[in-house]
Chain A
Amino acid sequence: MLRYIIFAPLAGAAINWLIGRRVRNERFIGLVACGSVGISTVIGFYLAFKSNGALRSTQPVMDHLWTWIQVGDFRADFGLAMDRLSGIYVLFITFVGFLIHVFATGYMRGDTGYYRFFAYLNLFMFAMLTLILGDNFLLMFVGWEGVGLCSYLLIGYYLDKEEAAPAAKKAFVANRVGDWGFVMGILLLFWMTSGAGAPSISFFDKPGLTSALATVAHMAPESFALHMLWYGGITSIAILLFIGATGKSAQIPLYVWLPDAMAGPTPVSALIHAATMVTAGVYMLARCSAIFTRAPMAMFIVAIIGAATALFAATIGLAQNDIKKVLAYSTISQLGYMFLACGVGAFTAAIFHVMTHAFFKAQLFLGSGSVIHGMHHEQDMRRMGNLRKYMPITWLTMCCGWLAICGVPIWAGFFSKDEILWKVWVAGPFSIPAGAAKALWFVGIVTALLTAIYMTRLMVMTFWGKERFNSGHDAHGESHADDHHTVTPHESPWSMTIPLIVLAVLSTVGGLVGVPYAISSLAGGHPENYFEEVLAPAISTVPATQAAAGEPTKLHWQSPPPQEVDGKPAVAPVGEAPGAANSHETPNPQELNEERLLALVSVLIALSGIGIGWVMFQRKPLRAMPRLLENKYYVDEIYDATIIQPIEAGSREGLWKIIDVGAIDGILVHGPGEIVKRLARTLRYMQIGFVRGYAAIILAGALIIIGYFAYNGAHVLRFLVR
């Protein structure tokens, strides 16, 4: 059953590629594309919520297709598994993906590559779902590469757009750097599990195969020391996997591809570069929580990189003028939050934020797509303004996304972001040194402030203020000057606004599945954080103290099958280690008050951010921003000067001129030719043409043979004759 989730979009891609390109009927192509994703969505929801489905049982739903590779001890299956973690991912990926497909049918109307676009988009869904549902690292890597390929194809989708091809190339190359880390991590993990006597790269226990994660979970946590990074143990694996995640999820130092990726069509930006693909790194970290929780040094680095990325990208986002660029940096910043959460061991909070972020960021991106569509492909916010008059639905729905990302209560982003900040504040001494947690929290709260400011700036510049699209005295973009004077923004068709509305509703109420106890108890509502409770069994928690290290946390897939309690299936994790933090602890009133206080602080921060943004940009939407920020800290230029240029120079001067021309061409290719040529130049004098010369050679040969036998005696001859 599980297989249909991934193969339906693949079939859709094949149909659109083979038949759609001939039919060229937009209705047919759109129907195939949306329908195939719709099938995945329905099956995904059914498998997640049926009575013994992935989200209601502690056992994953498995689907073993075939044993893919079996070499010695190494075994990789083409097998799918849907546990609580991948279940949640499948739910929002298929559902948000479906909405974005519907949106794209409107957005891409009239494009010559309509069939190509939807074939790629469906192929992306196939790859993404393979990534999520693969039950071992290698299959996950297949999906990982597949989404990278589709991302490349879709960034470079506009063949006539000058910046698209280099952007696609950049994304591909940056991801290759990350993939190196991922592959090395997998190899090292296999090597280590082999050493432990259970060679495996599987996530789950299967017949004849032990889960690699369970093997790692039985190992003692490594010490918190820098040299553990290259020790070759769990910490090294964790950091290599994290390098892979930085590539895919656009973290420092490999984030540079994501802003450029905005060259692709806007639905692609929404689906791939905001809602789903870029969160694959977070998924991988959560999936490998058993590895990361035993590698405190790696956790610490993840937290630092996450916090740094969040702050860094938020500051750049303040000064961008392209509506999609702002959202791109916002995405990087929010991903930084997720990694910060992973780094302090709050994997559930990270996944929660992934989900809410998928809702509100997809909403914002689609909203920006609607704006761009309504503005006749104008992306510069300096040429917008007062669009709420022309596009009321887009405006209202985007307000939901805006309030959600700013972290205003009730809206989804508030709960997830607040959860992360709280988990950072209380981060234990296991992976985060004392004091660092508070510093990271401070970075997080500053980022929250900046987020509110730049999002308010985006909204104000786009939807409020004076209409600037018909005033033709801009400093740049002369090429647009012609259609510039005739622009009349219009509201988008229903195929675009309905996804916007659905996502706006989700951005508004989607966070209610994860209301923390500290807040829900105020209203006397649901006593537990439902989201965390669902996800907890799939996540390996940080051993509470070093003392608990001797008795490692058990993971749910080693647990006995769920026992029936009063006729209801038990959802509580059976094998949770003693002392490991979980939501079932009796809440400490003092801690609860602290959490409420922090929530209040973040609400105030969000509101003041919105206030600052409003005051700063309502009157002067075109306020000049610092050049350093506008130029993205010159990171692209620095990379160009320090990495790309030296590599190019080294390749040109060293690899090409010395190694290739000198060694390969000079010695290996021309060498044998030269030897033959010289030999021939000598030997050709034998073929001089004078008959007497030949006679002399024959004579000389005869003399040599006779001389040989005369010198060595007749016994040689006798030997020959015999």
Chain B
Amino acid sequence: MAPQLSWYLALSAVLFTIGVVGVMIKRNVISMFMCIELMLNAVNLTFVAFSSFFRDVTGQLFVFIVMTVAAAEAAVGLGIIIAIFRSRESLDVDDASTLKL
């Protein structure tokens, strides 16, 4: 049985949900960061699946854009994480609940 579109979508949904739940329950900044990456890639998977299904290349273009953005975001995000760690000696997001340092 050839793989159906719905399989990809279901997998993507599962990955996305795991990402969401991870962001919600994890306190460690790096774990949250990885969960966000997971969500982005779940979306990428749907793009690719639809692209293949509709025989349209646009979806794959979007994947590249998302990957670029994700790379930039990773750079900025990691920079922020390091800054937070330096000031607070902690990677727990709940410790960074005020705007003040």
Contacts and interface: CB of A to CB of B under 8 A. Distances in A.
Contacts of B24: 692, 695-696, 699
Contacts of B32: 691-692
A623 B99 CA distance: 91
Interface string A688-707: 11111001100100000000
Contacts of A690: 93-94, 97
Contacts of A696: 24
Contacts, number: 21
Contacts of A699: 20, 24
Interface string B85-101: 00000000110111100
A689 B96 CA distance: 8
A689 B98 contact: yes
Contacts of A692: 23-24, 27, 32, 93-94
Contacts of B98: 689
Nearest to B27: A692
Contacts of B96: 691
Chain B binding surface, main DSSP class = helix
A695 B93 CA distance: 12
A688 B98 CA distance: 8
Nearest to B94: A690
Interface in B52-101: 93-94, 96-99
A690 B20 CA distance: 16
Contact of B99 (A689, A691, A695): A689
B8 to A, nearest CB: 19
Contacts of A695: 23-24
B22 to A, nearest CB: 10
Interface string A637-663: 000000000000000000000000000
A696 B94 CA distance: 14
Interface in A285-328: none
Interface in A80-116: none
B57 to A, nearest CB: 20
Nearest to A690: B97
A692 B97 CA distance: 10
B54 to A, nearest CB: 16
Interface residues of B, number: 11
Nearest to A702: B20
Contacts of B97: 688-690
Given A689-B97, A699-B24, 11 more contacts: A688-B97, A689-B98, A690-B93, A690-B94, A690-B97, A691-B93, A692-B23, A692-B32, A692-B94, A695-B23, A695-B24
A689 B97 CA distance: 4
A699 B23 CA distance: 10
Interface of A: 688-692, 695-696, 699
Interface string B20-34: 100110010000100
A116 B20 CA distance: 85
A696 B93 CA distance: 14
B23 to A, nearest CB: 5
A696 B32 CA distance: 13
Nearest to B93: A691
A710 to B, nearest CB: 14
21 contacts: A688-B97, A689-B97, A689-B98, A689-B99, A690-B93, A690-B94, A690-B97, A691-B32, A691-B93, A691-B96, A692-B23, A692-B24, A692-B27, A692-B32, A692-B93, A692-B94, A695-B23, A695-B24, A696-B24, A699-B20, A699-B24
Contacts of B94: 690, 692
A690 B96 CA distance: 7
Closest 4 CB pairs of A and B: A689-B97, A691-B93, A690-B97, A695-B23
A221 B97 CA distance: 89
A688 B96 CA distance: 11
Contacts of B99: 689
A706 to B, nearest CB: 12
B21 to A, nearest CB: 10
Contacts of A689: 97-99
Nearest to A692: B24
A699 B32 CA distance: 15
A630 to B, nearest CB: 80
A688 B93 CA distance: 13
A699 B96 CA distance: 21
Contacts of B93: 690-692
B77 to A, nearest CB: 12
Contacts of B27: 692
A384 to B, nearest CB: 85
A8 B42 CA distance: 95
A58 to B, nearest CB: 91
Contacts of B20: 699
Nearest to B98: A689
Contacts of A688: 97
A695 B99 CA distance: 17
A689 B94 CA distance: 8
Contacts of B23: 692, 695
A688 B32 CA distance: 19
A695 to B, nearest CB: 5
Nearest to B95: A690
A428 B43 CA distance: 109
Nearest to A703: B20
A251 to B, nearest CB: 75
A699 B98 CA distance: 22
A696 B96 CA distance: 17
A699 B27 CA distance: 17
A155 B99 CA distance: 67
Nearest to A693: B97
A189 B65 CA distance: 83
Nearest to A689: B97
B37 to A, nearest CB: 15
A394 B93 CA distance: 102
Interface in B1-46: 20, 23-24, 27, 32
B82 to A, nearest CB: 16
A692 B94 CA distance: 8
Nearest to A691: B93
Contacts of A691: 32, 93, 96
